[in-house]
């Protein structure tokens, strides 16, 4: 095998990413090791994906057992792991029907296509508007990126699909004013993830549900990032006291194995009748076997209790660092999806703090240019949270020091 380094990336890969200078080669729980054997505490979770950490024995067992049996049959035939996983999702949520795919964008693509087809077939071609919110993120296909509310992701990709409007988030009056009988769906993230870790208020969530009911529009919850135990309940909608019509998820569902799902009711599922939508790999036996093992764990009350406890620990630790060093403000978010907005002096440079943390042996994320994001494994231990916070404190001390020296 030829030797590969970070420099190889620039030689052979499309430059749409700018990966970190290190290359991880092994993971265990919430620790990672790079090519040089350096160890890192993982507060990033592969962007809210590795919900059970790295190399969890139940995931490894599910994958290797299925790998020796059957990898792929296509949707010309169904398979046992897909049926078992769908049964579990139906038992654990509002949903009565499940569509499997391979990513969050594909889950949303399916949801938006369902909404359009529902509007068209049940009401008429006028009912086609999809409402979403500023700073929303729903994926990178042309349809999903257009529904997303961050213009920087659509620039240069015009012409964009039409029939989409964006509104301010957490503003029920703006939504009420925009609602009319052309709206087929409203889509929202319970906590805007990529958009800066911005939670919906419960009040807003209930107002959105009521407005969708009033105007006969579907409520689509994008739980690609917030789902699968991330916020302390299996899905975040449970905490708002409302039920969506369609829910999409991915990321944590496979714990690191690619899979996405769209969940809905029996009546809405009928809109996607035979032949109307599909995916070669959707419901792949390997992905579904792993996801079933993950779902068993993330629906376990003991694990959800750990999310609440580690969330409180991490939030308290961050707030201490916030008060002591002033690099970032108090944390916000739900469960183990937390964000800390950087201070004025660091505006636009959250990434610099992430880079400094990596050099100190801690993997963090940004959510946009101004927010530090924390999305560790849901089974992260108290000791790993403490160690990560200790490393972050060293980063804060080093980055704050020049300013204090200048003030002295
Ligand atoms: C990550 C994300 C997506 C896109 O998921 P992919 O698997 O990257 O396609 C969609 N919606 C939300 C809320 C996300 O966080």
The Cα 66–Cα 86 span in angstroms is: 17
Give the mean model confidence (pLDDT) for residues 28-52: 98
Does residue 123 surpass a pLDDT of 90? yes
pLDDT at 1 > cutoff 80:
no
Distance (Å, whole) CA 162 – CA 147: 9
Cα–ligand 1 centroid distance for 404 (angstroms): 40
- Report pLDDT for 405: 58
Average pLDDT over residues 293-312: 98
The answer, yes or no, to whether residue 57 has pLDDT greater than 80, is yes
The model's pLDDT over 66-84, given as tens digits with 9 standing for 90+, comes to: 999 999 999 999 999 999 9
Cβ–ligand 1 distance for 225 under 6 Å, the answer yes
- Going along the chain from its start, the domains and CATH numbers come out as 6-55+301-407 (3.90.1150.10), 57-298 (3.40.640.10)
Distance of CA 271 to the CA centre of its chain: 26
Binding-site entries for N(2)-acetyl-L-ornithine: 140, 279
Confirm or reject: Cβ of 109 under 6 Å from ligand 1. Answer: no
Residue 393's H or E segment, with its range, is helix 382-407
Q: Is 251 a catalytic residue?
A: yes
92: left (phi over 0), alpha (psi -120 to 50) or beta: alpha
What pLDDT sits at residue 302? Answer: 98
* Position 375 pLDDT exceeds 90: yes
Cβ-contact 53, 42 below 8 angstroms: yes
pLDDT score of 403: 57
Looking at residue 2, its pLDDT comes to 79
CA 116 to chain centre: 24
Pocket lining: 81 vs ligand 1, CB cutoff 6 Å: no
Report which ligand 1 atom has the smallest distance to the Cα of 102. Answer: 7
Is the Cβ atom of 250 under 6 angstroms away from ligand 1?
yes
To the nearest whole percent, how much of the chain has pLDDT over 70?
A: 98
Please indicate whether residue 230, judged by its CB atom, sits closer than 6 Å to ligand 1. no
Known binding-site residue numbers:
104-105, 137, 140, 222-225, 279-280
Active-site choice (43, 143, 251, 384) = 251
- Is 138 close to ligand 1, i.e. is its CB under 6 Å away? yes
pLDDT by residue (tens digit) across 152-204?
999 999 999 999 999 999 999 999 999 999 999 999 999 999 999 999 999 99
**CA 287 – ligand 1 centroid, Å:** 17
**Residue 246 predicted with pLDDT over 60:** yes
Q: Which of 42, 222, 245, 370 is catalytic?
A: 222
pLDDT (0 to 100) of residue 406: 56
List, as residue ranges, the binding site for pyridoxal 5'-phosphate.
104-105, 137, 222-225, 280
Q: Is the CB of 127 under 6 A from ligand 1?
A: no
User: pTM to 2 decimals?
Assistant: 0.97
Establish whether residue 252 lines the binding site of ligand 1, counting it when its CB lies within 6 angstroms of any ligand atom: no
Residues sharing a CB contact under 8 Å with residue 93, sequence separation 6 or more, in sequence order: 234, 235, 247, 263
Centre of ligand 1 from the C-alpha of residue 402, in Å: 38
**Spacing, Cα 60 to ligand 1 middle (Å):** 24
Quick one: pLDDT band at residue 134, thresholds 50, 70, 90?
A: very high
Name the pairing type of β-strands 183-188 and 218-222: parallel
For residue 223, the ligand 1 atom closest to its alpha carbon is: 13
Confidence of residue 401 (pLDDT cuts 50, 70, 90): confident
Within a 10 A sphere around the Cβ of 335, how many other Cβ atoms? 23
Helix (H), strand (E), coil (C) string for 161-225? CCCEEEECCCCHHHHHHHCCCCEEEEEECCEECCCCCEECCHHHHHHHHHHHHHCCCEEEEECCC
At 93-105, the pLDDT tens digits run 999 999 999 999 9
What pLDDT is attached to residue 165? 98
Choose which residue among 107, 224, 371 to substitute to test ligand 1 binding: the one with the highest number of ligand atoms within 8 A of its C-beta. 224
Atom of ligand 1 nearest to the CA of 47: 1
Segment 137-150, tens digit of pLDDT: 999 999 999 999 99
User: Is the distance from the beta carbon of residue 103 to the nearest atom of ligand 1 less than 6 Å?
Assistant: yes
| Among protein residues, the one whose CA lies closest to atom 10 of ligand 1 | 138
- Annotated catalytic residue 137: yes
* Strands in 223-266 per DSSP E: 246-249, 260-264
Distance 3 CA to ligand 1 centre (A): 32
Q: 392 Cβ partners below 8 Å, 6+ apart?
A: 317, 318, 321, 357, 360, 362, 364
CA of 139 to the centre of ligand 1 (A): 5
Is-contact 238 299, C-beta < 8 A?
no
Average pLDDT, the chain: 97
């Amino acid at each position: 095998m030829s030797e590969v380094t970070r420099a190889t990336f620039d030689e052979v890969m499309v430059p749409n990413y700018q990966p970190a200078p290190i290359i991880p080669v092994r993971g265990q729980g919430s620790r990672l090791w790079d090519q040089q054997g350096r160890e890192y505490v993982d507060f990033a979770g592969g962007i809210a994906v590795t919900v059970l950490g790295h190399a969890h024995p139940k995931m490894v067992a599910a994958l290797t057992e299925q790998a020796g049996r059957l990898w792929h049959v296509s949707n010309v035939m169904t398979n046992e792991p897909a049926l078992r996983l769908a049964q579990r999702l139906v038992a654990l949520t509002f949903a009565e029907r499940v569509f499997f795919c391979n990513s969050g964008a594909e889950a949303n693509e399916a949801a938006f296509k369902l909404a359009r087809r529902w509007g068209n077939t049940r009401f008429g071609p006028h009912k086609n508007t999809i409402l979403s919110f500023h700073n929303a993120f729903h994926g990178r296909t042309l349809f999903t990126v257009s529904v997303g509310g961050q213009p920087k992701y659509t620039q240069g990709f015009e012409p964009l699909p039409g029939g989409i409007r964006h509104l301010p988030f957490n503003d029920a009056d703006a939504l009420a004013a925009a609602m009319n009988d052309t709206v087929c769906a409203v889509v929202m993230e319970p906590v805007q993830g990529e958009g800066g870790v911005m939670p919906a208020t419960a009040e807003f969530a209930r107002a959105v549900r009521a407005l969708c009911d009033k105007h006969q529009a579907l409520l689509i919850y994008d739980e690609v990032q917030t789902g699968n135990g991330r916020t302390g309940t299996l899905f975040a909608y449970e905490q708002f006291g409302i039920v969506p019509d369609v829910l999409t998820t991915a990321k944590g569902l496979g714990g690191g194995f690619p899979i996405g799902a769209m969940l809905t009711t029996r009546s809405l599922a009928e809109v996607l009748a035979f032949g109307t939508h599909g995916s070669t790999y959707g419901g792949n036996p390997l992905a579904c076997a792993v996801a079933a093992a993950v779902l068993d764990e993330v629906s376990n009350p003991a694990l959800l209790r750990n999310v609440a406890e580690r969330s409180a620990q991490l939030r308290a630790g961050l707030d201490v660092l916030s008060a002591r060093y002033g690099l970032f403000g108090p944390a916000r978010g739900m469960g183990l999806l937390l964000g800390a907005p950087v201070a004025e002096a660091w505006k636009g440079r959250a990434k610099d703090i992430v880079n400094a943390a990596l050099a100190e042996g801690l993997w963090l994320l940004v959510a946009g240019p101004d927010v530090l994001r924390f999305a560790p494994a849901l089974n992260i231990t108290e000791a790993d949270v403490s160690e990560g916070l200790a490393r972050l404190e060293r980063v804060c001390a080093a980055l704050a020091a020049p300013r204090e020296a200048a003030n002295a």
